[in-house]
Homo-oligomer: A and B are copies of this chain.
């Protein structure tokens, strides 16, 4: 569980700056300034906490490889996953401006992350409007995804909910270059899918079986293929506009 240090020259800001540039073009100076942040790279084993509810993190964390999820707990201990993150995602950009985390972030798989000092990120954003804009847009898109999840969990039935989540993952993975033709290795257990959709793992299992039987998906172990995207998108009431993936 303890982070594994790596030499500074290994620092891989590529996926992170790539995503920022996609959201809003950066000038050469912006890019250089970002790249000269005192970044550290770490590798975390599955289940490691990157952010803890109530704590003030010293760093802003960017995912270079692997997956992570953000979750909150009720007083009774029930868990709700509120987002899933992958290569290129900052998992806690908010924490450069808000003091205390109001949620947890844990790695889902082994993950390489880049740690940037919180205050250095904040100062960079305050000095460089181009960087601030890209980062702000990044957090705005996160926000849009949260809204869609409120809708998903609040107003869709179990099958639609699961199908919607699988569609979202497919599109985001594709955009991150991690899957093609809607075929990917699902980074989550059925229990985690349940926690992301407000269901139980038993029910998720039955829904997956049903999606499988009706030919919408095919599963082999943890690998998943969406057999017919159009029918699946319809089953999941899915329209990816909220992901704001195409350059606005």
User: How far is it, in angstroms, between the C-alpha of A74 and the C-alpha of B72 when the chains are bound?
Assistant: 25
**Chain B residues within an 8 Å CB radius of A99:** 248
A149 touching B148 in the complex, CB below 8 Å, given contacts A75-B237, A126-B129? no
Is B98 in contact with A144, judged by CB distance below 8 angstroms?
yes
Is B94 in contact with A140, judged by CB distance below 8 angstroms?
yes
Which of A76-84, A182-190, A205-213, A218-226 lies at the binding interface? Answer: A76-84
Whether A37 is near chain B, meaning CB under 8 Å from some CB there, is no
**Chain B residues within an 8 Å CB radius of A88:** none
Within 8 A of B (CB), among A194-214: 197-198
Residue of B nearest to A137 (CB): B97
Indicate the member of A98, A150, A241 with the most B CB atoms within 10 Å.
Answer: A150
Helix, strand, loop or mixed for chain A's interface?
helix
**Chain B residues within an 8 Å CB radius of A83:** 147
Whether A153 is near chain B, meaning CB under 8 Å from some CB there, is yes
Whether A136 is near chain B, meaning CB under 8 Å from some CB there, is yes
Q: How many copies does the complex hold?
A: 2
Within 8 A of B (CB), among A86-133: 94, 97-100, 102-103, 125-127, 129, 132-133
**Distance in Å from the Cβ of A246 to the closest Cβ of chain B?**
10
A126 touching B137 in the complex, CB below 8 Å, given contacts A80-B154, A153-B153, A237-B76? no
Within 8 A of B (CB), among A37-90: 54, 70, 72, 74-76, 78-80, 82-83
**Chain B residues within an 8 Å CB radius of A100:** 241, 248
Is A153 in contact with B198, judged by CB distance below 8 angstroms?
yes
Can you list 19 pairs linking A and B with CB atoms under 8 Å apart?
A72-B150, A74-B151, A75-B237, A94-B143, A94-B144, A98-B141, A102-B147, A102-B241, A126-B133, A127-B129, A136-B136, A139-B139, A139-B143, A142-B143, A143-B143, A146-B147, A146-B150, A149-B150, A150-B153
